[in-house]
Amino acid sequence: MKILVSAFSSLYTDQRIEKVCRTLYENGHGIQLIGNDWGGAEEMHRPYPFSRIRIRSRVLRFAYPEFMWKLYKELDRKTDRETVLLANDLDSLLPNMIIARKYKIPLVFDSHEIFTEMPAIKGRWTQKVWKFLERRLVPGLRYMMTESESYAEWFTREYGVHPVVVRNIPRIIKEQITLPENQTKIIIYQGAVNQSRGIPSAIRAMHYINGAKLVIAGDGPMRTQYEKLSVDEGLKDRVHFAGKLHPDDLRKLTRTADVGLSLEENGGVSYLYSLPNKVADYIQSRVPVVMINFPEMMKVYNDFKVGEVVQNHDPENLAAKIKTVLEKGRSYYQPELEKAAEHLNWENEEHQILTLFEKVRKENFR
């Protein structure tokens, strides 16, 4: 099938979109990917065509409607009656819905999170705008997927839809991984440098940990503030901000770490019900994890003892769990990490995507 994939994303570091598109492409579908240049337009190579819509607005609340209008025109130009649309997240759904109805073609919605419950918009007037769109667009969606069982259950309760669960987890790393022998232990956080990610607690925890440094690999709107926090706390030399990395470079860095952190805060159900992709990224790199006791992460921990669980974000308590992992060492957790890696990988997830799109084909095309 011809599939037009779109997202409010620069695409460069969006691993879920890359994996979904590659799975569909490698199984014979014609993929065209549309993103934007909000946050950058780094050079990118994909085996299928992609483009980025230029965003002139410098403020996010204006960038969204600009993107939606330009995406509508781009989709309208590229769509015919043999097209399938794949919209990623609520911020691309409206133009996709309009085009789907105009051409009477199928639309698949991939909700990477619960957009209206993200901490960045909780309690703001923009949350009401997005909630209005969500209530108008999500009910009645015929084809939908999302990233966790808890997300799927939430969408079913709220809107009566039944998403297919496709977890955002990495491809399996099959080659032998050499455990590092770091003189200074490495504690890594990877992901967006944003609010409600537990980053301030991780920084302050470094007061209680000797012989280690914290590496924050990622970028985002809170980076400057967290850099200042590390200076104010007298931890500048022990907290390193690596910035935004290409996924391949990020994987290389993660493999050198002694412990990985996933410390989301309960700023709303979008985080509470998430299974952050960083958890499975750490597991595939055979790096033990210190994670918060949220439902989806506890499901992983209950099946595979891949690290330690924290009950709150108190820096001293967090430091104690990190020190437990560092004292036991990566070798202690390897048997459970190996078992988890065999289970939590993209190769075990992608059949759900192929099954969904085969259903789309059978129900819409001869």
- What radius of gyration, in Å, describes the C-alpha atoms of the chain? 21
User: Residue 184: how many CB atoms within 10 A of its CB?
Assistant: 10
Is the C-alpha dihedral spanning 333, 313, 231, 195 positive or negative?
positive
pLDDT for residue 98: 98
Question: What is the structure's pLDDT at 321?
Answer: 98
User: Domains of the chain by range and CATH?
Assistant: 2-166+349-364 (3.40.50.2000), 185-345 (3.40.50.2000)
Q: What is the pLDDT of residue 210?
A: 95
Per-residue pLDDT of 60-106, as tens digits, reads 999 999 999 999 999 999 999 999 999 999 999 999 999 999 999 99
167-196 pLDDT, tens digit each = 999 999 888 888 888 999 999 999 999 999
The 3-state secondary structure of 27-67 reads CCCEEEEEEECCCCCCCCCCCCCEEEECCCCCCHHHHHHHH
The pLDDT of residue 347: 96
Q: How far is residue 204's CA from residue 202's CA, in Å, rounded to a whole number? A: 6
Q: What is the pLDDT of residue 337?
A: 97
The pLDDT of residue 180: 87
Measured at the CA of 12, the angle between CA 10 and CA 17, to 5 degrees, comes to 85
Give residue 132's pLDDT.
96
At 176 the pLDDT is 83
Side-by-side strand order, sheet with 259-262: 239-241, 212-217, 185-190, 259-262, 289-292, 307-310
- What count of other Cβ atoms lies within 10 Å of the Cβ of residue 224? 11
Question: What pLDDT sits at residue 40?
Answer: 85
Read off the pTM: 0.92
Q: Is 2 exposed, middle or buried (0-12, 13-18, 19+ CB in 10 A)?
A: middle
Divide the 366 residues of the chain into consecutive groups of 10 and give the mean pLDDT of each group.
Answer: 96 93 97 94 93 95 96 98 97 98 98 92 91 96 97 97 96 87 95 93 97 96 96 97 92 96 92 93 97 96 97 97 97 97 96 98 93
> Crossing angle for the helix pair 60-78 and 93-103, nearest 10 degrees?
20
User: What pLDDT score was predicted for residue 13?
Assistant: 86
The phi, psi pair for 308, rounded to 5°, reads -130, 155
